[in-house]
Amino acid sequence: MSKLVTIYGGSGFVGRYIARRMAKEGWRVRVAVRRPNDALFVRPYGVPGQVEPVLCNIRDDSSVQSVMTGADAVINCVGILNRSGKNTFDSVQTQGAARVARIATELGVPHLVQLSAIGADTASPSDYARSKAKGEAAVLAAYPSAVILRPSVIFGTEDQFFNRFAGMSTLTPILPVVGANTRFQPVYVDDVAQAAVLAANGQATPGIYELGGPDVATFRDLMAKMLGVIQRRRLVVNIPFFAARLMGGTFDLLQTLTAGLFENKMLTRDQVRNLARDNVVADGAKGFADLGIAPTSIDSVLPEYLWPYRPSGQYAAIKRSAKNLKKA
């Protein structure tokens, strides 16, 4: 019988790519999510019955255990960018990660992979970064042979980074950013998935891996690259950190006052704290090279999914060709 992997958060941005790769390698895949009906799109990743979304709440022991029973590998991709109700940074990214690791040890699961993030640091001023670091520590305490992956900002077709700012650029001549001089090392989502699959197969030495792509650039430079791809000229304006903190605080307060009816998906104070720090692979850290993976460049992928934001969309190349014919 083929091996079984349980992927917590397997319908998310990174999780779906991992699920697809695991299915292609012949694994049976349990995609553990809070809303299985919203994750039915993962089923075609394999033959009928090979990939199945199952109900799970990472905040509950019995729920986590029930979907892990019988698994040969576990991959935890669950993470949040903003607190919402009971889903706080601590409950999801610290306690949730600890719960998965503890139960994996109790059940004797051979391999555990934890998806974290570059910048995870218990001394960070960011709640997000601290919770990630505490989650890592809890995972290693319960399951010392775990593989922890720390990606930089992740890009790909469904990303909320380049897509978000490309969408904004279609609405206004000014593109505001916080931390224009902060450096990032964007990593392609399928490269992260490949690293997770290697770890789940036992082909990665236990420990922490920081995953960054071949390109290191400032936030401003990344926006310039994105604007070049979508063929738009926009003024990239840096929002000072003091102003950004005020904006984030206002949006956070509005979420609190409305009891969550307004969910702050725009800018939080915690995100501002994160944007004040570079998000690149640390010197001496293990990374893609140690996994035998050659990371994908931004230039080779962005045009494949950002073309809808061009003024002429899918017809941009045809129009450019027609103009050249007129000149000739």
Q: What count of other Cβ atoms lies within 10 Å of the Cβ of residue 208?
A: 18
- What lies within 8 Å, CB to CB, of 221 at 6+ separation is none
Task: State the average pLDDT over residues 116-135.
Answer: 97
**pLDDT > 80? residue 321:** no
3-state secondary structure of 235: strand
Q: Where are the domains of the chain?
A: 4-158+185-216+279-296
In this structure, which amino acid lies at residue 40?
L
Condensed to tens digits (0 to 9), the pLDDT of residues 264-318 reads: 999 999 999 999 999 999 999 999 999 999 999 999 999 999 999 999 887 777 7
Cβ 309 vs Cβ 230: under 8 Å: yes
Q: How are beta strands 187-188 and 154-155 bridged, if at all?
A: parallel
What pLDDT does residue 287 have? Answer: 98
pTM of the predicted protein model: 0.95
Cβ 117 vs Cβ 211: under 8 Å: no
CA distances from 255 to 46, 83, 125, 160 (A): 40, 10, 21, 20
Q: What gap in Å lies between CA 64 and CA 142, rounded to an integer?
A: 15
Q: What gap in Å lies between CA 264 and CA 251, rounded to an integer?
A: 6
How much is the CA Rg of the chain, to the nearest whole Å?
A: 21
3-state secondary structure of 150: strand
When the pLDDT of each residue in the chain is averaged and rounded to a whole number, the result is 95
Q: What are phi and psi of 319, to 5 degrees?
A: -65, -40
Q: What gap in Å lies between CA 316 and CA 293, rounded to an integer?
A: 34
The conformation of residue 41, written as its DSSP 8-state character, comes to G
Question: What is the tally of helices (H) and strands (E) in the chain?
Answer: 13, 13
Cβ 295 vs Cβ 166: under 8 Å: no
3-state secondary structure of 236: strand
**pLDDT > 70? residue 34:** yes
Condensed to tens digits (0 to 9), the pLDDT of residues 176-231 reads: 999 999 999 999 999 999 999 999 999 999 999 999 999 999 999 999 999 999 99
Q: How confident is the model at residue 84 (pLDDT cuts 50, 70, 90)?
A: confident
Alpha helices in 153-218 (DSSP H): 162-169, 189-200
| One CATH from 3.40.50.720, 3.40.50.300, 3.10.150.10, 3.90.1150.10 for 4-158+185-216+279-296 | 3.40.50.720
Q: How confident is the model at residue 326 (pLDDT cuts 50, 70, 90)?
A: low
